[in-house]
Structure 1
Amino acid sequence: MQQDSSALLLADRLRAEVRSLRAGDRLPSSRALMDRHRVSPITVSRALGVLAAEGLVVTRPGSGTFVADRPAPAREPADLGWQAVALGDRAIDAHGVRWLLTPPPEGTIALSGGYLHPTLQPTRALAAATARAARRPDAWDLPPLSGIAELRAWFARTAGGDVTPADVLVTSGGQQSLTTVLRALLRPGSPVLVESPTYLGVLSIARASGLHPVPVPADEDGLRPDLLAEAFAMTGARVVYCQPTSLNPTGAVLSPERREQVLAVARAAGAFVIEDDFARHLAIDPTPPPLISQDGDGRVIHILSLTKSVAPSLRVAAVIARGPVAERIRATQLVEDFFPARPLQETVLELVSSPGWPRHLRAVRTALKSRRDAVCSAFARELPELRVNRPTGGMHQWVRLPDGADDVALAEAALRAGVLVSAGRPFFPAEPTGPFLRISYSSAASEAELAEGVRRLATVLTG
């Protein structure tokens, strides 16, 4: 104890001496310190150890002890308060989108997500397509501003009807497509009709662009045309956004009859229909053709992304439109984004033109069917009292919770129990019609993991 006290006392004396020296100066030798302060070698060694731990000195064997480099004095934090005045009262809330894109903690089963699990992605075919694309002599040249001709032709064939390559604009992914289209069509302050519930990302884009998303209820069969007509009449809106095939988050598919009704309602209102066809390649059962294939007067603006059916970083999509609105959308993309990177366009063209593309789609659809059925069976076994739908495509199921349940609190508790699910409330543009959970069956590693995720969720609900 006495030696420790002596060492600390010597360290205090040396600390003041060190601070008066310059970085790199050599301290007196241990023998000199022993003689000067009349202490033992152990006391000197321990005192220097204290100073070394504090970063004040460094010991170099065979050379001695030296004053360490001093860090630059910490600057006072900058006063950034002026920015609040300059930025004004507009805010961009990315919390919901960031949460959906953040990987779950290690050991957590993901029953929430918007992409295929890596085991379902065509990584080998994608790598081969990327290698072939990179070898093209013009791979890094400026592409045609509307997109590579062959890729536009492929998107046109996929859309069907009388769509031509001239109607297609290649874009940098579905989210960028939605941003471009909404900004091209609507000025800040305008209303835009959306399904309720709807894709969380479109709500974020609309609000960040200064638009007002107005809810139009959707049921198990998708958007309700009768209430769509009322919403157009009440708001004077000129745009409705919808997902006719595998609505995210509910999985609903708009029937052929309702598709005709939606087009008729939009025609009567003199409005555009933005058709987000993100799940076209994720159909488990046959689905109706896109709205764009039934559109004879340029009313539908069709968005088709390949990201969901391939891989998260394949940020390539297409916007299909006709007439003056197509020119405005092209102009908006040109001034905001120039064009999608040519190597990515070439990669997509190589991928969808290869024999492996139809094989990949068949494999994904088979896997999604098995996964959907596994989740349905797990809920029937673990939580038979809950209503769980059985979608015919896409990635998500919609679970109705008991009245009075707090879906947000439940999702937080589920995460603590090791399973990630999405609360339903953020998917509603206004007040929710009840408590729901969105369950995704595409993000987990296996059917067994899906079943275990539902079991963990059941322990939270029944605990």
Structure 2
Amino acid sequence: MQERSSVDELVKQLRDELDRYSPDGKLPSSRSLVERFRVSPVTVSRALAQLAAEGLVVTRPGAGAFRARPRTAAPPAGDTSWQEVALSADGSADLVPRTVDASGVTICLAAPPPGVLEFSGGYPHPSLQPERAMAAALARAGRRPGAWERPPLEGLPELREWFARGIGGGVTAAEVLIAAGGQTALATALRALAPPGAPVLVESPTYPGMLALARAAGLRPVPVPVDQDGVRPALLADAFRGSGARVFVCQPLFQNPTGAVLAPGRRAEVLRIAREAGAFVIEDDFIRRLAHTDSGPLPPPLAADDPDGVVVHVASLTKATSPSFRVSALAARGPVLERLRAIQVVDTFFVPRPLQEAALELVGSPAWPRHLRALSAELTTRRTAMTAALRLRLPELALPHVPSGGYHLWLRLPDGTDESALTTAALRAGVAVIPGRPYFSAEPPAAHLRVSFAAVSGTADITEGVRRLRTACDEVL
């Protein structure tokens, strides 16, 4: 019997037998299943991984497989009929030129010159990436029967189910599309929700790549200020009224660049304000898997609290894995889901199946939770080292908020500082940093720098990089 059919048959048999076990009850060992069903250990491993992806089984490294606890009942379906109005709105008749300024993106992607420490990086250093686990997952995926066939246009069902369970709130696999990285997912969402020339509300400051996407689509970014508790609801409501926008893009968790987490009291307000404006919220949940050890329990995605289809949710595996592991998800409810699907099919056809299969292998392996724990601990250590070094050597650079997740710090420079002169001086001193200007869609309120503690090799480079930045500040300030 072929491997794939053996896996399917074993999954069916185990699924039929799950009622014999109480919640948290332990299933027979893998060795017992191999002997009983006369299949290979690989078949057993894949069958258990599929049951885990379906939420029926929980695997615990070193302990075995256990029947999962029953899921809580999904909340009642909301009313998505309002989307017919929102999706048909013309927005503004004045078209915006689709000029593209990619400088804010390329500075995060470009490797610095030799000998220059990378405080500008937008991805974790290779030593923080699960290279062995990814290589093993890709090798296993390549051997799966059918791995090189055309995948379903929406993505592999098991991978869609895995993302749906991570979002929560009754989101189902049918409401998830697999996309080729968060940037592609954001581009699809913006094109689906706003016609050229329309305003789109953005956090201020915000991710330059999103601003570039909006302008490339002919949209007009309208800034809404954030503070240490995320976007300010009163200003959000004013922006909706003043602009007529039907879309708000936000990062409620460890916002880029401020690191802010949307306060519990503001979450419902943001959804209510958007709903009353007949608008969508694009939730860029790009960094949930980069929480630090002192973050405490993370709030659920906004999409988990939204039965009415206000939120279009974007999630990605890239930041926690590798810049080249471009697998993400778009989740939405209501008629907008078909529009998202149609745009994605036209743009990319589908995400390559081997990459989707590798993602399934990776997140279903014992190496995945181990990697996330190690990554969390190392990011915490690096953040602490950079925070201490900055406060010791550069007290004049204000650090208004120390984030409990992510990979960078957001520094306010003394009034009157020339960002461009400082970043140039820093490069001469041997450290690459990112100026704050690209993070603002309008005039910035002050000069800033964003400095990453994840793109260098370790804490020794962090200490040396801050010393070099001190040299640059002595030259410019």
Q: What TM-score does the superposition give when structure 2 sets the normalisation length?
A: 0.78
Determine the structure 2 residue equivalent to 1:217: 225
CA RMSD between the two structures: 1.1
Q: 1:220 to 1:158 in 2, by over 3 A?
A: same
Structure 1 or 2, whichever has the larger Rg, is 1
Determine the structure 2 residue equivalent to 1:385: 396
Question: Offset of 1:264 from its aligned partner?
Answer: 1.1
Determine the structure 1 residue equivalent to 2:281: 273
Q: Secondary structure in 1 aligned to 2:283?
A: strand
| Contact preservation (8 Å) 2:158, 2:360 | yes
CA distance in 2, matches of 1:416, 1:445: 20
| Contact preservation (8 Å) 2:121, 2:452 | yes
| Contact preservation (8 Å) 1:255, 1:288 | no
Q: How does 1:378-417 map to 2 (within 5 A)?
A: 378-388=389-399, 389-417=401-429
| 1:240 aligns to 2:248 (yes or no) | yes
Q: How does 1:299-310 map to 2 (within 5 A)?
A: 299-310=310-321
Question: Offset of 1:89 from its aligned partner?
Answer: 6.8
Question: Offset of 1:407 from its aligned partner?
Answer: 1.4
2:234 to 226, 230, 233: 226
CA distances 1:111-161 after superposition (whole Å, capped 9, x unpaired): 111111000000000000000000011011110111101100100111111
| 1:334 aligns to 2:342 (yes or no) | no
Q: Secondary structure in 2 aligned to 1:177?
A: helix
Question: Offset of 1:97 from its aligned partner?
Answer: 1.6
| Contact preservation (8 Å) 2:176, 2:330 | yes
Determine the structure 2 residue equivalent to 1:439: 451
Determine the structure 2 residue equivalent to 1:448: 460
Q: Quick one: which amino acid aligns to residue 425 of structure 2? A: A
Q: How does 1:89-104 map to 2 (within 5 A)?
A: 90-104=98-112
Gaps of 5+ in 1: 1-87
Question: Offset of 1:90 from its aligned partner?
Answer: 4.7
Question: Offset of 1:94 from its aligned partner?
Answer: 2.1
Q: How does 1:56-205 map to 2 (within 5 A)?
A: 90-205=98-213
| Contact preservation (8 Å) 2:419, 2:435 | yes
Question: Offset of 1:96 from its aligned partner?
Answer: 2.4
Gaps of 5+ in 2: 1-95
CA distance in 2, matches of 1:408, 1:242: 27
CA distance in 1, matches of 2:425, 2:397: 18
CA distance in 2, matches of 1:155, 1:346: 14
Question: Offset of 1:296 from its aligned partner?
Answer: 1.4
Q: Secondary structure in 1 aligned to 2:256?
A: coil
Structure 1 residue ranges (4+ consecutive) displaced by more than 4 angstroms after TM superposition? none
Q: Secondary structure in 2 aligned to 1:387?
A: coil
Q: Quick one: which amino acid aligns to residue 303 of structure 2? A: I
Q: Quick one: which amino acid aligns to residue 128 of structure 1? A: A
Q: Quick one: which amino acid aligns to residue 167 of structure 1? A: E
CA distance in 2, matches of 1:270, 1:358: 39
Question: Offset of 1:219 from its aligned partner?
Answer: 1.1
CA distances 1:150-179 after superposition (whole Å, capped 9, x unpaired): 100100111111111111100000000011
1:282 to 284, 290, 294: 290
| Contact preservation (8 Å) 1:278, 1:305 | yes
2:354 to 343, 346, 368: 343
| 1:426 aligns to 2:434 (yes or no) | no
CA distance in 1, matches of 2:261, 2:148: 40
| 1:256 aligns to 2:264 (yes or no) | yes
CA distance in 1, matches of 2:303, 2:344: 21
Determine the structure 1 residue equivalent to 2:370: 359
CA distances 1:300-330 after superposition (whole Å, capped 9, x unpaired): 0000011111000001100000110111100
CA distance in 2, matches of 1:374, 1:368: 10
CA distance in 2, matches of 1:436, 1:306: 28
| Contact preservation (8 Å) 1:206, 1:213 | yes
Q: Secondary structure in 1 aligned to 2:221?
A: strand
Determine the structure 2 residue equivalent to 1:373: 384
CA distance in 2, matches of 1:154, 1:196: 32
CA distance in 1, matches of 2:442, 2:369: 40
Determine the structure 2 residue equivalent to 1:39: none
Q: Secondary structure in 1 aligned to 2:314?
A: strand
Q: What TM-score does the superposition give when structure 1 sets the normalisation length?
A: 0.80
Identity of aligned residues (%): 59
CA distance in 1, matches of 2:330, 2:171: 12
- How many residues were matched structurally? 376
